A and B are shown apart, each in its own frame.
Chain A
Amino acid sequence: MKHTQLGEFEELVLLIIGSLGDNAYSISIKEELKNHTQRNPSIGALHSAFNRLEKKGFLDSYEGGATNKRGGRSKRFYKLTTLGRKALDQSYELRASLYHTLPKLGLSND
C-alpha cells in the first residue's frame, strides 16, 4: 500500500485534475485550488507535486494548446490514470469508513 499513499496536497491536486477533465494544466489547476481552498500555492510547489505524482504513476501528461500569452509555448495537460483514480477511491473509502466510526454528536459542549 505504501506507494499509493497520498499527501493532503497531492490528494487535492489529483481531485482537481480529475474534475477539470480536459482542461487540467498548471494555471487552471492553480486557479481551481485557489477558488476551492483559499490557498494560493506557488507555481513551483505545483510543478513539483505534478512531477512526484507522475513518477508515482497517478498522472499522465501530454503537451499542446500553445497560446499567444505563453509566447507560443505549449501547456502540459494532466490526466488521471487508472492507478490515480484507484488511489483517490481508496483514500475516500478509508476516510469514509473511519468517519462512520465517529460517535454521533461527539461534541459534548454543544
Chain B
Amino acid sequence: MTDQKNIGPPRWADRFLEWYCHSKHLDILRGDLYELYDDRLENGSSKFKADIFFCLEVFTLCRPFAFKKLNNENSNTIAMWRNYFKITYRNLFRQKVYSFLNLSGLAIGLACSILIFLYVSDELSYDRFHEKSDRIYRVLEHFESEGNGEHSASLPFPTGPTLQQEYPDQIAQQVRLFNFQSPTLALANKLSEKAFNESQVFFADSTFLKVFDFELLVGNPETALDDPNTILITAGMAKKYFPGEDPVGKFLELQGTQNLEVVGVFRDPPKNTHFQFDFIVSFSSLKQWYGGGYPKNWYWNPCWTYIVLNENVNPEHVEANFPAFVEKFFPDFIVDDVDLELQPLTDIHLHSKLDYEITANSNIQSVYIFAAIAFFVLIIAAINFINLSTARATKRAKEVGVRKSLGSSKPQLVNQYMLESVFMTLLAMVFALIIVALSLPYFNGLTDKSIGFDFLLQPYIVLGLLGVALVVGLLSGFYPAFVLSNFNTILVLKNAHLKTSGLTFRKVLVTLQFAVSVSLIIGTIVAINQLQHLQNKDVGFDQDNILMIPVIRSPMGAHYETFKSTALQSPHVKSMTAVEEIVGAKHQVSNYRFEEMEKSKPFAHINLRHDFTKTFEIPMVAGRDYDMTIQTDDSLAIVVNETLVKSMGWGTPEEAIGKRFYYRNQLKGRVVGVVKDYNVVSKHQPISPFILKLNTRPRAFNLFIKYVAVKVDNNIEASIADLNSAWSSVLPNMPFDYFFLDDRLNDSYRSEQQLSSVTVIFSGLTILVACLGLFGLATFSVEQRTKEIGVRKVLGISSPQLLVLLSKEFLTLILIAFVIAIPFSYLLTQNWLNGFSYRIDLEVWPYLVAGFMTFLVAFLTVSYHSVKASTINPVDTLKCE
C-alpha cells in the first residue's frame, strides 16, 4: 500500500464520477464502487479486469438521479438569449460603417477561401471516382543514358499484355490507349457530310470499361469494345455527328479509310480525369493499319498502358519484377537504359510531368500556393474582425458596466460577446456564399474548370462551412469577449477615461496583416515577371506568323512536294517545311551512335523536311543545312545543335563538322551542320543535346512527320486562303485545319498564367481587406481623439501637421510590416523560382514597388480621416463635457 496510484481503481474514472455526481450521492456511490472493486480483487480477478468493471460501473451510474443540478440555469435564460440577439441586431445597425467594414471584410475573406477550397478539392479529386482507382497504375518507361533520353508516360505495344501474361497473380487487368501519336484524327459521318478533325480519339483495349468506371448510356459495357471496327462515342459527340438521331448502329469514317460502327454512347465523362476523350475505338480495329496484327516492336513506345493490380498486391513487389522483365523482352541495344516504373493513377494529375503525357497535367505546387493564399486571406479577414471588434469594445463599455451592476456574471458576458461574434461570422458566411455563387463562373473561366455551386451543398461541406464560421467566430470573438468582460464596473460607469485596452495587441495584428499583404504583392510581382520571362519570344527561333497544319496519317506524304511548290507560288507564303512535333514544345527520342561511342544512346531528336532552319530562322553556327540537291542527306548527313557538340566534347562547332555517325550499324554518315541552340521544349527545361533528322520518305507521314509548318507574311487572311487552295488542289477530300505556333507555345505556360492571374486577384483582395481594417481602426482612432484634435486646433495646429499626427502611428506599423515581409517573401519566391530552368533573378524593385504601393494605399486610407478631422470645428467637439 505504498503507491496509491497503482493499487486503486483508475484515477480518471474516479475523477469523472466526482465531476458529474451530485455531492449528496458521491460518498455512498463511491463507497459502493470501491467495495465492489475490492471484492473482485479478493475473488481472484486480475487488476485489469477489476479496472474495466470499475470503469463500466462508473458509466452505468451516469443517470439523471446522480447528476449535479445545473444551478445557474433559471427561467429567464431564454429571455436573456433573446436580449443578446436584440443587442446584436441593434449594434449592427447603430454602427453601420463598422458593421459594413467588419462584415464585408470577413465575407470577402471567406469567399476567397471557399473559392480556393473548391479549386483545391477539384484538383485533388482527379481520377478518384474509379472504383479501382487505388489499384490502377500507369506503367512508365525511363529511357535514359547519361542524362539524355526520355521519361515516357507511354510504352511499347506489347508491354501491357506481356506484363499481364508474365505476372497473372499480381496483375488483374491491363488497358492500352493509343492515338497514332497524332494531335488530331479525322472522323466523318458520311451520310450527313459532317467531318471534323478530332483531338480526343483513342484506341483502347476491350478492358477499358473494366479498368475505368466511365458510364455507358447505351451499349453493353461487357462486350462494347470486343469487335474490330467499333467505336464508342460520348453523348456530346453523338449530338455533334448525329443530331436528332440514334447513333447506335450508324457509321463513322476514320481518316477517310476505316468505317467504324457506333456501338455505345458514353455519358459525357467528368472533367476531373487526367485524360479527356470523345471517342474510344476498339483496339482490334488497329490491326488493319499494321498488316493484320499489332506492332511487335519493343522500341517504339506509343501506348499509354494502365494495369490493375490484384487486391492486396504491393506495387513495389510488382516493380521488383521489372528489371528481369526488361532484360527478357526489350531489345539488347537499349536494355541497359530502360527502367520501368508504376505510377498510381491518382498521382498523375498533380505529380506527373513526363514526356508524352496525354494532356499537360496540373502541379501540386500551384495547389499548395493557392491553399496558402486562401489561408492568408482568411487570417487577414479574421484579424480585421478581431481588431474592429476590440476597437469597438470601448464604445460598449457602458453597456458592460450596466450589465455587470445588474448582476451579469463574467461567463454570461463572455457568452454574449462570443454569441455576437459567431452570429456575425454566420452572417458573413451567408454573404460569402452569395459572393461565391456570383463569382464562380468567372473563377471557372480563370482556372479552366467547371465547378458547380451544388458542390457546396453536400452535407459534409455544409457542416464544414458551418464549422469554419463557428471556429472563426469563436476565435475572433474570444479576445473581445474577454476584454469586455474584464472592464471594471465602477470605472466604466463613472465615465473615467478608459485606457484603450488591447492597443498593442491590435498593433501586432495590423502589422501581421500588412506583412502578409506585402509578401503576397511581392510574390505576385515576381510571378508576373517570371511568366513574362518564360513567354518572351527569346527562344532561339521565330514563332511569329507560323502556321502549323496537322498532316499525320493523311495522304500528304505523296503530295508534299507538289503542295509545297504550289503554296510557295503565293506571294504571302515565305517558306515551308514539315516537322515531327510542335517546334519548341515537344520532341521525340531515338538512338544514335557517333564515332567515339561503344554503343548507341538515346538522343532527343526531331524528324523534319528541308528548309527547317529557313522557316524558323534558326542560324547555322557551322557547316550547312540539309540541301535539296544532295540526295544522300536523308541517310548520310546529320545536323546537330551546339549543346550536343559540347556534351560530346567535340570542341568548337567547326571541329564537329565531319564527325562520323553509324547508319544501320555501318560507319557511314557525317555531321554536316551545327545549328545555334534553341529551346526545343518549354523553358521549364534546359536545352538538351538535340539532333535534327532529315526524313524525306513519303511514308514518314504515317508517324515521323506530323505537321507542315508554314511561314507566312503579315497578311494572314490571304495566306490562309492561298494555303487552303493549295491544299484542296492536292487533297480535295480532307478538311484543311491549322493553328498558330505562338498560340500553342503559350499554352505551355498555362499553369503559370493561371497562377499569376489568381495571385493578382487574391493579393489585390487581401490588400483591400487589410485596408478595410485599417480604415476601421483609423476611424476609431480619430473618434477617440476628437477632443485632442479640438484642443490642438484651438492651439493652432496646421492641416499637414494634423495629417502627420494621425497617420504617423499607422505608417510606422506598415514600415515594420514591410521589414518583416522582405525575408519571408524572399525565401518563398526564391524557392518557387528554383523550380524553373529559365528564371529571373530576384531584384530589389519588386520589393520597393510592393512597399511603396502598400504605403500609398494605407496612407490614402488614413489621410481620409485626417482630412475629415481637419475640417472639424473645435467648438463642436469641445463644447460638451
Give the B-binding residues of A (Cβ under 8 A): 26-27, 42-45, 47-48, 51-52, 63, 66-67, 69-71, 73-76
Q: Per-position contact with A for B15-37: 1 when CB-CB < 8 Å, else 0?
A: 00000000001011111111110
Chain A nearest Cβ from B820, distance in angstroms: 59
Complex Cα distance, B56 from A14, in Å, reads: 25
Q: What is the CB-to-nearest-CB distance from B28 to chain A, in angstroms, rounded to a whole number?
A: 5
Contact A43 B28 (CB under 8 A): no
- Pairwise interchain contact B33-A47, C-beta atoms closer than 8 A: no
CA distance A68 to B223 in the complex (A): 81
Indicate if the CB atoms of A47 and B36 lie closer than 8 Å. Answer: no
CB distance from A56 to the nearest CB of B (A): 13
Q: Are A67 and B65 in contact (CB under 8 A)?
A: no
CA gap between A43 and B34 in the complex, in Å = 12
Report the minimal beta-carbon distance from B49 to chain A, rounded to whole angstroms: 15
By the criterion CB–CB under 8 Å, are B60 and A74 in contact?
no
In terms of DSSP, what is the predominant structure of the interface of chain A?
Answer: mixed
Residue of B with least CB distance to A61: B28
Distance in angstroms from A79 CB to nearest chain B CB is 15
- Give complex CA distance A63, B63 in Å: 21
Q: Which of A27, A44, A73, A76 contacts B62 (CB 8 A)?
A: A44
Cβ contact within 8 Å between A26 and B63? no
Chain B nearest Cβ from A74, distance in angstroms: 7
A70–B65 touching, CB < 8 Å: no
8 extra A-B contacts, CB within 8 A, seeds A70-B32, A71-B34: A42-B56, A43-B61, A47-B32, A48-B63, A63-B28, A66-B31, A67-B35, A75-B32
The answer to whether residues A69 and B34 also contact, given A44-B63, A48-B63, A76-B28 and a CB cut-off of 8 A, is yes
B28–A75 touching, CB < 8 Å: yes
Contact A43:B57 (CB < 8 A) given known A69-B38, A71-B34: yes
Instruction: List B contacts of A27 (CB < 8 A).
Output: 32, 35-36, 39
Residues of B near A73 (CB, < 8 A) are 27-28, 30-31, 34
From residue A34, how far is it (CB to closest CB) to chain B in Å?
12
Interface residues of B (CB under 8 A from A): 25, 27-36, 38-39, 56-57, 59-63, 65-66
A44 with B60: CB separation less than 8 A: yes
B314 to chain A, nearest CB (A): 48
Closest chain B residue, CB of each to CB of A52: B65
Known A43-B36, A51-B65; contact A70-B31, beta-carbon cutoff 8 A: yes
> Once bound together, how far apart are the Cα atoms of A45 and B60, in whole Å?
7
- Complex Cα gap A52–B64 (Å): 11
Partner of B35, one of A42, A48, A69: A69
Chain A residues whose C-beta falls within 8 Å of the C-beta of B28 in the assembled complex: 26, 63, 73-76
Between B30, B39, B65, the greatest number of chain A beta carbons within 10 A of the residue's beta carbon is seen for B65
Cβ of B415 to closest chain A Cβ, rounded Å: 33
Contact B31 A75 (CB under 8 A): yes
User: What is the bound-complex CA distance between A101 and B61, given in angstroms?
Assistant: 42
Contact (Cβ within 8 A) B65 A43: no
7 pairs of residues in contact across A and B, judged by CB atoms under 8 Å:
A43-B33, A43-B36, A44-B63, A47-B61, A48-B65, A70-B31, A74-B28
How far apart are the CA atoms of A76 and B66 in the complex, in Å?
Answer: 15
Give the nearest-CB partner of B42 in chain A. A69
Cβ of B60 and Cβ of A26 under 8 Å apart?
A: no
Task: Please name all residues of chain A whose beta carbon is closer than 8 Å to the beta carbon of B32 when the two chains form the complex.
Answer: 26-27, 43, 47, 70, 75
